[in-house]
Every structure is written in C-alpha cells, then in structure tokens.
Amino acid sequence: MTLLSTRRVHTGRVVSLDIDTVEFPNGQVGELEMLRHPGASAVVPFLDDPADADPRIVLIRQFRHATDGWLWEIPAGRREGSEAPEVTARRELQEETGYGCGRLERITSTWTTPGFTDEVIHLYWAADLVPGATAHERDEVLDLHPTRWSVVMTMIADGTIRDAKTLIAILALAAQRR
C-alpha cells in the first residue's frame, strides 16, 4: 500500500483523525479514516508468585463511557511522548493500582483495531509488587479486585471479562504458563 496524502481532520487530547488517500496493493485508490494514537501498555499484575498453581492477580473494575458501564480490565494507559512501552507499563501500574513492581516481563504486542487505527498495545506481566500510592486521572473511576487465576479464567469463559487487551494478555499468558 502506498500513502499518497494525509489530511488532518481533528487533533485531540488522546487521538487525532486523519483522512489518508492510499493506493492499495491491487492498484485501486481510496480514502481511509485513520485514528492516530501514540500507543499504550497494559500489565497483568501478580500479587503472588506467577509460578504458583492458582496465583492472585489484580483486576480493575472501571467505568467506561464508551460502553455505558463497568468493564473488568488490567491496568493500562497511553504512552506519553516517546516514552518506552516498559516505562508506560510501570507508570500505569503505579498510577492505577498503587503498586510498583520488581519484575516486568513482556507478553506480546497487539494492534487494537487495525482497520481504522494505528494503536498498538504492549502487554506485560508484573511480579514482586510493592504497595504505594495511586494517582488516578480525573476520568478514572475504578476499584481494585485481587482475583485468583482460576476465577479469572471462569470470568473469561462466562463472558464477564470482555475487554480486548485484558483477554489477549491473560489468554496469551495462560498459553505461556502451560
């Protein structure tokens, strides 16, 4: 695909919207609405040794305006400037849960919705947590829930957990734990 031109339609606090004119691999030319995002990081925080059979992780229950309700999630947030994904992961873990971590390991990275955005979320797990203070943003309405791994798997199976980054991180981590 060849980018022929870009026109910025909106610049916001979180995202920008561009109209890209592109030539597709088949030679056709078209316009695409592209949501530009700086990227994000998310963390599965282990309260117990990750090697334990049924360790506890910290889940967040957070109100999300876009869904008009509460979602079960892992701590996550957007990168600031050229911040490295690992730095974002540690910062968001601290801000949302109050925990710092001694160990941070990469799980994978994922495109959130590649049909219309360039957002990539880098997924990690954290261990050796150290309690501290939270620093929630004005729009973060959330509470913390230490939850056993087996219960998290049930929450995924029964559809309680529906947040994509959380599903991907936990299921990818479950595959790695086997």
- The band of 139, judged by pLDDT with boundaries at 50, 70 and 90, is confident
Closest to 105 in 3D by CA, of 163, 44, 59, 47: 44
Measured CA to CA in angstroms, residue 15 lies from 78, 111, 113, 142 at distances of: 10, 15, 14, 22
pLDDT digits (tens, 9 = 90+) for 36-65: 999 999 999 999 999 999 999 999 999 999
Which residue do the tokens 């495109």 mark?
111
Q: Identify the CATH number of the domain defined by range 40-177.
A: 3.90.79.10
pLDDT digits (tens, 9 = 90+) for 72-118: 999 999 999 899 999 999 999 999 999 999 999 999 999 999 999 99
Domain regions of the chain by residue span: 2-36, 40-177
**Per-residue model confidence (pLDDT) at position 137:** 85
Closest to 35 in 3D by CA, of 10, 14, 15, 7: 15
**Per-residue model confidence (pLDDT) at position 138:** 87
Average pLDDT, the chain: 95
- Dist. CA 121–CA 43, nearest whole Å: 10
DSSP-assigned states of every residue in 136-147: --TT--EEEEEE
- Dist. CA 150–CA 95, nearest whole Å: 26
122 Cβ contact partners less than 8 Å away, ≥ 6 residues apart:
39, 40, 41, 42, 85, 86, 88, 89, 106, 109
* Amino acid symbol at 147: T
- Dist. CA 131–CA 48, nearest whole Å: 13
